[in-house]
Amino acid sequence: MSLIIAIDGPSASGKGTLARSLATHLHFAYLDTGAVYRAVAHSYLEKYGPTIDLDAGVKEAILVRDHFDAKILENPALRLEDVAQMTSKLSSFLEIRAILLELQHNFAHKPPSPARGAVLDGRDIGTVVCPNATLKLFVTASTEARAQRRTKELQNKGISVIYADVLRDMAERDMRDKTRTISPTLPAEDAIILDTSDLTADDVFAKALELAKMRGITA
């Protein structure tokens, strides 16, 4: 069985940066599961607009699963706020989650060669996708800190956003993600909590790498 690191947490907590750094350092395969859902949401918005239609969402999820190419996850449009909001809404449907769960599970247990392990980040990796992961981390930060990071990230990409709007949208999404009945954004019972509010990316990486070594995961 492959070694699996599951990293969960809310948006802009730093989990993606940490996951990519660990994957690169350990020579593991990396999957941003949130981007997989965002790819579905982006395609959905382009075809159907903001109105929610479960059947249409299921069709888009099947297309992503059956024709998955990691290159689609690099599309900068996936980081737009309207896509983030649609992602949160579509991911609340069990039918859509079940379709994409298969993709995530296969990637984790059969990572692309020559990787000997996989790092997945998302919101239910440690609880649903990989409950037997070698290491589970739940990366979080204050809503204000995360909103500041997301605002800066979008502005650096030339996207005009206002901090207050990002903060409001993030708070609404957090509430929706935490309280949904299907795979809420909550840490697994055996997950280790990493609060990144006052930590640099290097600090978080050092802590995570130490925890990985304690579980026998080394480069």
Residue 180 has pLDDT above 90, yes or no: no
Beta bridge partners of residue 32, listed in sequence order: 121
Averaged pLDDT for residues 157-168:
92
**What's the pTM value of the predicted model, to 2 decimals?**
0.86
Domains in the chain (CATH in brackets) are 3-212 (3.40.50.300)
For residue 15, give Cα distances in angstroms to 21, 51, 96. 10, 30, 23
The confidence score (pLDDT) of residue 183 equals 79
For residue range 36-94, list pLDDT tens digits in order. Answer: 999 999 999 999 999 999 999 999 999 999 999 888 999 999 988 899 889 989 988 99
Averaged pLDDT for residues 128-145:
96
For residue range 5-29, list pLDDT tens digits in order. Answer: 999 999 899 999 999 999 999 999 9
